[in-house]
Amino acid sequence: MEALLLFVLIFFPSILLQANIFSSPKAHYLSTGGSDNNEGTKAMPWRTIEKVNSYRIKPGDSILFEGGKTFYGSIKIDSTQLGTAKDPILISSYKSGWATIQAGQGNALDLSNTSHILVKRLILHGDGRKNGNHECGLIVNNCKYTHLDSIDISGFQKVGLLVYGSQYMEITHLFSHDNGAAGISVEAPYKTRNSFQIHIAYCRAEDNPGDPTNLVNHSGNGIVVGHCSKVLIEYCTATNNGWDMPRKGNGPVGIWCYEADSVIIQHCISYRNKTSVGSDDGGGFDLDGGVKHSIIQYCLSYENQGSAFGIFQYDGASQWSDNTIRYNISENDGAISTAHSSIYIWNNSKESAQFANCLFYNNIIYNTKGVAIHYSDESNRKSFKFYNNIFVAQDSLITGKMENDCFVGNDWWCISSQFNMDGNNDFVNWALKGRKELINGEIIGYNIDPQFSDPAHSMVVDPQKLKQFINYKSIGSSPLQNGGINLKVILGIDTGDINFNGKSILQNSIGACF
C-alpha cells in the first residue's frame, strides 16, 4: 500500500492536490423539455448539444444533462475552453440516472487542447461498429489534468476511449464495450512518450470484437497503451474482446503495452479474450515491442485463446529491456492460438541485444490445454531469468529452445507423466545436463505436484476479490513454501512486499500465493 501511495504521489501530484475541490461557479443545465433560447438554468434549461458547442465554457462552469434522457450529437471542447486547478470544468448528469449522448456516426465527446476537465456519469453511444459509426467514442487529444469517471461507452467502430498525447489523467470506473478497435487506448505521436502520468483504475473493457475495416493490423483489444510513460493500470478487467477481428495474423490482447516506459499493470483480470481463427495473440497480458522498466504483478489470466503473458519484440521497435512479471496466476491460457502456451516468447528483430533483461518470478502457470512456455523460432534474447515459479502443464512443459535462460528454484509438474521436457522424462537428468535449476552444482528446483486446492475452476471476475482467490494455494504443508531462493538476499532483487493474495511475501517461497 505504501509503495502504491508513493507511485501516485510521484506520478499524479496535481490530481491529488485537486481532489474534492471541483466547484461550479456557473451551472448550465440541459433537458429534452428545454429550449436553446432559455438561460440554461435548472428552471430554464437548454435543449441541445448544439447550444453547448456554441457557448464558450469558462473555468468553473458545469454542463449538466438531465439524467435518464438522450441528447443527440457530439460535444466539442477545445483550447478556447480551459478549466483551472481551482475552477475545473465539469460535464455530467443531474437528477437520478445518467444522461445518454447519442453520437450516431460521429464522436460523442471530443476534448482537444484543453485542461482541467472532469467528465462523469454519462452514457456515450454510437450507431455501432458495423452500422454506420466510423469514429471513437470519447477522444482526449493533447489535454492535461483530465479526470474521466463513471462513463459507459459503446457502439463505436474505433476505440471507446482514445487518449492521445495527453498528460496527468485519471480514468476511473469506465465501462467500454461493444466497440471495434479497442475498449481503451492510449497513444501519442510515433516513437515519442508524449502520453504520460496516466492512471487507469476500476475500468472494464468487454466485448470489443474488432474493427471491420482494419485488414492490416490487430484490433479488438481491451486496454492498450503505447508511446507513453508512467502509466498505472490497476483493478481493471478485460474479457471477450477480439472475437471478430477481420483478418488472420497478429491479434489483439486483453491488457497490454508497447513502446512504453515505466508501465505498471497490477491487480487486473484478463480472461476469455479471443482472436481470429489461425491468428496469434488473443491473450491475457503483453509486454510488447519497445517496452522498458515495466511490471505485470498480482494479476489473474484465465481461458484466453492466446497466451497469458506475451513477451514480444517486433522488428523496428525500440529496445525491449528491464521488465518484470511477478506474483501472477495463469490458468488454461493459449489453447487456440498458434503457440498453445501460457507464456509466449518471440523476437522478430532477431537481435538479442534488442530483447534483454526479463525477470519472471513467483508466478503460477497451470495449463491443461497446452505447454507452460513456448519459444518461437525467432526468440533471440539475453538475460531472461525465471525464479521461484510453478509450471504445470498437461504433457510437454516447454516447446522451443530454452538456450541460456536462467531457471532456478522453480517447480515443474507434468499432469500426464510427472515430467516431460522435450521428451526427457527425468528431471534430475534434464537439470544436470542442461545446467538448469542449479546453484554451485546443487539442484534447487523441484519436480513435485504442487497440490493446488481447486485448480482449473476460476470464476472470479472482480479484481477487488483477488485477495480472496485461493484456488492455487497448496493443500497442507509443502516444501514449496520455503524451498526456493531468497531473491532479495542472494540476487539483490527488490521483490516488493506482498504476494498475489496481498499477504506479506515469504522470501524463499515458490509460486504466487505462499
Per-residue pLDDT tens over the stretch 457-497: 999 999 999 999 999 999 888 999 999 999 999 999 999 99
Residue 63, beta-bridge partner list: 28, 91
Residues 168 and 62 in one domain: no
Q: What is the CATH number of the domain that holds 451?
A: 2.160.20
pLDDT at 18: 44
Residues 413 and 462 in one domain: yes
Mean pLDDT of 83-107: 97
Residue 27, beta-bridge partner list: 62
3-class DSSP state of 142: coil
Residue 3 confidence (pLDDT) above 80: no
pLDDT at 1: 40
Residues 489 and 406 in one domain: yes
Residues 118 and 172 in one domain: no
Residues 107 and 166 in one domain: no
3-class DSSP state of 56: coil
Please tell me the distance from the alpha carbon of residue 374 to that of residue 333, in angstroms, as a whole number. 12
Helix H, strand E, coil C: the string for 439-467 is: ECCEECCECCCCCECCCCCCCCCCHHHHH
Residue 135 confidence (pLDDT) above 90: yes
pLDDT tens by residue, 194-240: 999 999 999 999 999 999 999 999 999 999 999 999 999 999 999 99
Residues 225 and 102 in one domain: no
What does the CA dihedral 102, 104, 107, 109 come to, rounded to 10 degrees? -10
Please tell me the distance from the alpha carbon of residue 261 to that of residue 258, in angstroms, as a whole number. 9
Residues 126 and 269 in one domain: no
pLDDT at 280: 85
Residue 37 belongs to what domain range?
A: 23-132
Please tell me the distance from the alpha carbon of residue 445 to that of residue 439, in angstroms, as a whole number. 10
pLDDT at 337: 86
Mean pLDDT of 270-275: 97
Residues 173 and 293 in one domain: yes
Computed over every residue of the chain, the mean pLDDT equals 94
Structural domain includes residue 5: no
Structural domain includes residue 226: yes
Residue 7 confidence (pLDDT) above 70: no
Residue 155 confidence (pLDDT) above 60: yes
Q: Could you tell me the pLDDT band of residue 6, with boundaries at 50, 70 and 90? A: very low
Domain final residue, candidates 132, 167, 198: 132
Structural domain includes residue 144: no
pTM beyond cutoff 0.85: yes
Structural domain includes residue 399: yes
Please tell me the distance from the alpha carbon of residue 235 to that of residue 300, in angstroms, as a whole number. 11
Residue 16 confidence (pLDDT) above 60: no
Mean pLDDT of 149-172: 98
Residue 22 confidence (pLDDT) above 60: no
Please tell me the distance from the alpha carbon of residue 46 to that of residue 420, in angstroms, as a whole number. 71
Structural domain includes residue 147: no
Structural domain includes residue 94: yes
